[in-house]
Amino acid sequence: MSKPTVLFLCKHNAGRSQLGAALLQHLAGDRYTVDSAGFAPADAVNPAIAATVAELGIDITGNAPRAVTAADIDDADVVVAMKPGLQLPGTPKHLVEWSFPDPEAWDVDSVRPLREAVATAIAKEFVS
């Protein structure tokens, strides 16, 4: 039996979606296939996001932001939009919409509460 695929989406695939994907892999182990993408990919992962997940022993510094495709939506069992109302390039099988602020210009201290809020949402939705 194959594992369900969870796709995290945000605007730049540099912050919230990278955070969500990293935390789901960390909290759920190998129960899911996890991916992330964005609509206007940044050049690199947000350094404050990378630093806060590094505090948990997770290294995402080698991740490269990428654009979401219709195939990504079709292939995912669950699409998690880290911001409500995103215009998706397809119709997801199951859509979860969360409302997390964009941490684009935040420092590490500001990102930590976001990390904890995303981890709580993931635990409720996917782990418990």
d(CA 102, CA 14): 10
Q: Is the Cβ–Cβ distance between 60 and 22 less than 8 Å?
A: yes
Q: Is the dihedral of CA 20, 26, 27, 30 positive or negative?
A: positive
> What is the reported pTM?
0.97
Condensed to tens digits (0 to 9), the pLDDT of residues 50-91 reads: 999 999 999 999 999 999 999 999 999 999 999 999 999 999
Asked if residue 1 has pLDDT above 90, the reply is no
d(CA 84, CA 9): 10
Task: Give domain limits for the chain.
Answer: 5-127
CATH number belonging to domain 5-127? 3.40.50.2300
